[in-house]
Amino acid sequence: MLQFLLRSIGLGLATALLLLIAVPSLRYNIVPPSAPEDRDAVNLSQISFDKAVRKAAPAVVNIYSRKYTENDRSKLLTQGLGSGVIVSEKGYIITNYHVVAQADQIIVALQDGRIAAAQLVGKDRRTDIAILRIEGENLPVIPLNPNYTPKVGDVVLAIGNPYNLGQTTTFGIISATGRSSISADGHQAFIQTDAAINEGNSGGALVNTLGELVGINTASFQQATELETYGISFAIPYTLANKIMEKIIADGRVIRGYIGVDGQDINSVTSRLLGNEHLGGIVVLGVDPNGPAAAAGFTEQDIILKIDGQKINGRQSVMDIVTELRPGTTVDVLILRKGEEKTLPVTIAEDVRN
> Mind telling me the catalytic residues?
98, 128, 202
Q: Phi, psi at residue 135, to the nearest 5°? A: -95, 145
Q: What is the dihedral of CA 59, 241, 176, 258, to 10 degrees?
A: 180
How far apart CA 328 and CA 346 sit, in angstroms, is 10
How far apart CA 130 and CA 95 sit, in angstroms, is 5
Q: From residue 258, how far is each of 5, 248, 266, 327 by CA, in Å? A: 92, 18, 21, 8
Query: Which positions ≥6 away from 160 have C-beta within 8 Å?
Result: 60, 82, 83, 167, 168, 197, 200, 201, 202, 203, 204, 205, 217
Which stretches of 111-256 are assigned E, i.e. beta strand? 115-117, 119-124, 129-133, 155-160, 168-179, 190-193, 205-207, 213-220, 233-237
Q: From residue 52, how far is each of 149, 157, 171, 211, 217 by CA, in Å? A: 17, 9, 12, 4, 17
- DSSP bridge partners of 278: none
